[in-house]
Amino acid sequence: MEDEKEMIDHWSHDHPLTLVDTRELEFCCGCEVRFGSGEQAYGCSIDGCEYSKLLHQECAAMAREIRRPLHHPQHILIQCHEPDDSDLGWCDICGWTIWRIGYKCTSSGCWFRMHLRCAHDSDLINASTPDVDEQRRAIILHPSHPKHDLKFWTRICSFKCDACGTTYKGSSYTCTADACQYWIHERCASLPQDLKREDHHHSLSLSFHVPPEYIIFNYKCDVCSISFLPNYWIYHCPLCRYIVHVKCAFNKSPRITASLKILGRT
């Protein structure tokens, strides 16, 4: 009976899935994160089946269909698998390619896509939950701009984001106050407050400005090695002074290679 309780049905495979031991270097096909030593995951329960994909328990438990208030709250997002679904491309939250399972919008003409790992920390609601007061959800109060409400815009126009400092077209949130020009990307408005990177042993906290000491001592981003500007957002570890731009937070750190050049010689 205990084995039967561990079995689940998942849309991504025809056979029931059960908890199995993972091996070194294996990745979850949901969040795309490598499994820890001795960790269990859901895999196919049928002997002889060549299906080799594995899922974290929390990834397997995520709803197949969801809605996301910071997107269009009336739009339904559904889990799909890449490469079986050619409509999946890059994630609209972190900007990186969706290699395995991701959410895509089912509404005609909407191309919103999102990783499962980005959905873990997002403000999500089950698609079966009644949507109340959609008009209210189009207006948000974001902690980065507490004095004024922000309004969601789907107009595709180019602007410089007050969160990440980059300029590109996309959905956005703008300040509702006439005299205020605060404007941020939709994906920046959805960034999680805490972030875990594989190259650092502490969680990173989101800050809506750069602490003065980082500017005074000219700290540089631990991913791109470029200095910080005071008014743009960062992820940082106050304990270790590990700091990254929000636009670099989901990028991998460059590999450090030994240089053959010796000081004073060529």
User: 32 pLDDT band (50/70/90 cuts)?
Assistant: confident
pLDDT tens digits for range 178-207: 889 899 988 888 888 888 888 888 889 999
Sign of CA dihedral 108, 192, 91, 103: negative
pLDDT tens digits for range 50-60: 888 999 988 88
| Predicted local confidence at residue 244, as pLDDT | 93
Which neighbouring-strand residues pair with 97?
90
Count of other CB atoms within 10 angstroms of residue 51: 13
Contact 110, 81 (CB under 8 A): no
CA 11, CA 62: separation in Å to the nearest integer?
11
Computed over every residue of the chain, the mean pLDDT equals 80
| Predicted local confidence at residue 3, as pLDDT | 44
CA 254, CA 237: separation in Å to the nearest integer?
19
Chain mean position to CA 220: 23
pLDDT tens digits for range 205-245: 999 999 999 999 999 999 999 999 989 999 999 888 899 99
| Predicted local confidence at residue 264, as pLDDT | 36
The architecture of the domain spanning 138-189 is: 2-Layer Sandwich (3.30)
| Predicted local confidence at residue 220, as pLDDT | 93
Contact 164, 185 (CB under 8 A): yes
Task: Name the region of 215 (left: φ>0; alpha: ψ -120 to 50; beta: rest).
Answer: alpha
pLDDT tens digits for range 73-99: 678 889 998 655 555 778 887 778 888
pLDDT tens digits for range 138-175: 788 899 999 999 988 876 667 889 999 988 767 788 89
Share of the chain above pLDDT 90, in %: 21
Q: Decide which of 107 and 157 is more confident.
A: 107
For 121-180, the DSSP string reads TS--EETTSPP--HHHHTEE--TTSTTS-EEEE----EEE-TTT--EEE--EEEESSTT-
CA distances from 245 to 194, 206, 210, 234, 251 (A): 14, 10, 10, 5, 10
| Predicted local confidence at residue 155, as pLDDT | 61
